Amino acid sequence: MDIKKLTISQAKEDLKNKKYSSVELTKAYLERIKQLEPHVKAYMTVTEEEALNNAKEADNKIAAGEDLPLLGIPLSIKDNFSTKGIRTTASSKVLDNYIPPYDATVVERLKNAGIVLLGKTNMDAWAHGSSTETSDYGASRNPWNTEHLPGGSSGGAAASMAADETLGAIGSETAGSIRQPASWCGVVGLKPTYGRVSRYGVVAMGSSLDSPGPITKTVEDSALILQVLAGQDPHDATTGPNPVPDYTKNLAHDIKGMTIGVADDYFEGVNPEVKASVEDALKTFEKLGANVKTINLFSPKYAIAVYTILQRAEVSSNLARYDGIRYGNDRSFLGDEAKRRVMLGTYTLSAGYYDQYYNKALKVRTVIIEDFKRAFKDVDLIISPTSPTTALPVGATENQSMFGELADVLVEPSSIAGLCGINVPCGFSKAGLPIGIQIIGPQFAEETILNAAYEYQTENPLYLKKPNL
C-alpha cells in the first residue's frame, strides 16, 4: 500500500475489497505523521488511540457488510472544530487546556459517516491570519519547501494533506482560509456557499462569513466529503433548507457550452508566473469546450476595506465570551493579532463610528453581492488566480498587520458575497511551488463548480506530483 498514491475514493474501494484493513491504513498514516511532523508541524494534537479505536470499529462494520460514506477513512480536522473529549484550542493559549463536552455538527456528521480521526491541525490563532504564523504554538511549514509558509488560516489542514499525513482534511474559510492554503500547498480546497454547511460547534471568527469545507487531493474526494457535511442543521439557523444533491453524480459531465467569466481586475498585481499558469488553465477550459469571456467586476481591492471592518466587528463580539470565567484562560493570553482585531472591531462598532464605518461596510457588501449577481446572469462561473503569489517564506508576516487581507484579496469578494468556490492546482513556479486557480459559482452552485473543477483536474492531474519530503 502506497498511501501517497491513495485518494479517498480509491481507499474506499480497497477497504471494501479487503485489500487492507482500516487499522493497517490508519497505522500507515500515523507512522507518516511521526516521521514528518518535526518538519511539517501540521498537527496540534495527534489522536493515535482514538484513531486506532475508530479503525477497529470501521473494520468490524466493513466485515458486517455496512457501507457508510467514509467508513474507515482517516481524516484530519482543523483545531477550531469542537471535538468531544479531545483538546480544542483554535491554536490560542486562551483555550490551551479546553476539552469540549460536545462535537461540532461537522464532526458529528463525519463520525456518523465512519471516519477515522487522526488528529487536530494547526491554524492561525482564532483563524486570524493567512499563514499559521499567528498560531500560539508556532507556524506550520509548506511540504513543497519547509522554508515557506502553507498559508492559512487552515494552513495545518492543507499541509497535512499535501504531506500525505491524512487522506482528507477539514478546514474552515472566512475569507480565503480554505482556498488560499490549498493553493499554496497544491491541493484541492472547497469553500461551500455560506449556510451550506453548519457552523455549530466551530469556534466563531466572522459569524456572517465562516464556512467549513474539505481540503483533499482530488475534486472527487471533496465532493464525497461535502456530501456528508452539507445540509440544514437545527442548531444553526443560518443553514439553508436547500436540498442536498448527489455531488458525485454530475462530476464527469462535459462542460461544452459552459461560459466562464474572467475579470481583468483579478489579474492586477499578480505574480507573472501565477498569471501565466492561470492563463494556460483557461486555454484548457476552452479546449474542453467552455467559452471564456471577459467580464467587468468590482476590483477585489474594495473587498479588503469591507472585510476588514465587518470581520473585526464580528471578532470583537465573538471573542468577548473568552473572559476566563466560564472556560479557558483570561484575556491576557490573547495574542497580538487578536488584540488588534478586537480593538479595531470595538472601535468600528462604537457610538459615533457605527454609521461611519460598520453600516457603510454593510452597504458596500450589498453592492458587491449585486455585482456578482449581475455577472452570473451572463456567465456560469468565474475563474481567477486564487492567490496573487505562490507560498511566501517563513517570517513574511512579520510587521505586516494587513498580511492576511492582501494575501486573500482575490478570494475575499466571493466570501463576502457568500458564494461557493474551489481551488484546483494548475501549475508550479520555477522554484517548484504550487499555483492554483479558483472557480467561483453562484450561491448553492457547488455541483457546477465541482463539475468544472473535475473536468479540469482530469485533463491536468497535478495531484499525482508529490513534494520531496
Question: Which domains, from first to last, does the chain contain?
Answer: 3-464 (3.90.1300.10)
- For 336, residues 6+ apart whose C-beta sits below 8 A from its C-beta are none
Taking only the tens place, the pLDDT of each residue in 114-154 is 999 999 999 999 999 999 999 999 999 999 999 999 999 99
Residues taking part in catalysis: 78, 153, 177
CA distance 113 to 170: 14
Question: Lowest mean pLDDT: which of 29-33, 89-93, 407-411, 430-434?
Answer: 407-411
> What is the pTM for the complete model shown?
0.97
Average pLDDT over residues 233-259: 94
Task: With a cut of 80, say whether residue 105 has pLDDT above it.
Answer: yes
- Asked if 347 and 380 touch (Cβ cutoff 8 Å), the reply is no
Average pLDDT over residues 164-193: 98
CA distance 250 to 444: 15
In the chain, helix, strand, coil percent, each to 5?
40, 15, 45
Average pLDDT over residues 406-435: 95
Task: With a cut of 90, say whether residue 402 has pLDDT above it.
Answer: no
Looking at per-residue pLDDT, the higher value among 234 and 349 belongs to 234
pLDDT of residue 404: 67
Q: Report residue 40 as a C-alpha cell.
A: 511539517
| Helix residue spans in 267-387 (DSSP H) | 272-287, 301-318, 336-349, 360-375
pLDDT band (50, 70, 90) for residue 312: very high
**pLDDT above 90: percentage of residues in the chain:** 91
Closest CA to 413 of 375, 451, 447, 445: 375
> What are the φ/ψ torsions at residue 83 (nearest 5 degrees)?
-130, 115
- Asked if 128 and 337 touch (Cβ cutoff 8 Å), the reply is yes
pLDDT of residue 282: 98
